[in-house]
Amino acid sequence: MNGSTFVNLLALALPAAGLFYWWTGARARERAIEHARHACRQREVQFLDQSVALARLRAVRLPGGALGLERRFAFEFTTRSAYRDAGFVLMRGPRLVRVEIPYTRDETGNRVYEH
């Protein structure tokens, strides 16, 4: 393999890797929105902005030993319309690990933590 062949392969591989990263990230984000919406509906809170934001990205070992990405998405919800509280969706590869809504609020606005 000479130098120009390597450069040509690299010129093809880098955009392909970037496209794959973007595609899997977009798919994970869409699934995270679905999971956040479902969790908010279950807990009878309002899912705000109908969106999630990538809060953390790291490489992890997936079940079976393959290397994959763990993504933590943040979202906002409200129990009482005066407060915007944060929740998280943790995805490992394409799979949901958990949805975290750490607390809700009572009638006076005090935090009520779930056990």
Asked if residue 12 is part of any domain, the answer here is no
Asked if residue 17 is part of any domain, the answer here is no
Q: State the total domains in the chain.
A: 1
Asked if residue 19 is part of any domain, the answer here is no
Alpha helices by DSSP H, listed for the chain, are 3-42
Asked if residue 81 is part of any domain, the answer here is yes
Asked if residue 57 is part of any domain, the answer here is yes
Q: The domain containing residue 68 runs over which residues?
A: 28-113
84 φ/ψ angles, rounded to the nearest 5 degrees: -115, 115
Q: What is the pLDDT along the chain (115 residues), one digit of tens a residue?
A: 566 888 888 888 888 888 888 888 899 999 999 999 999 999 999 999 999 999 999 999 988 888 999 999 999 999 877 889 999 999 998 899 999 999 988 888 888 887 6
Separation of alpha carbons 16 and 29, rounded Å? 20
Asked if residue 108 is part of any domain, the answer here is yes
Asked if residue 54 is part of any domain, the answer here is yes
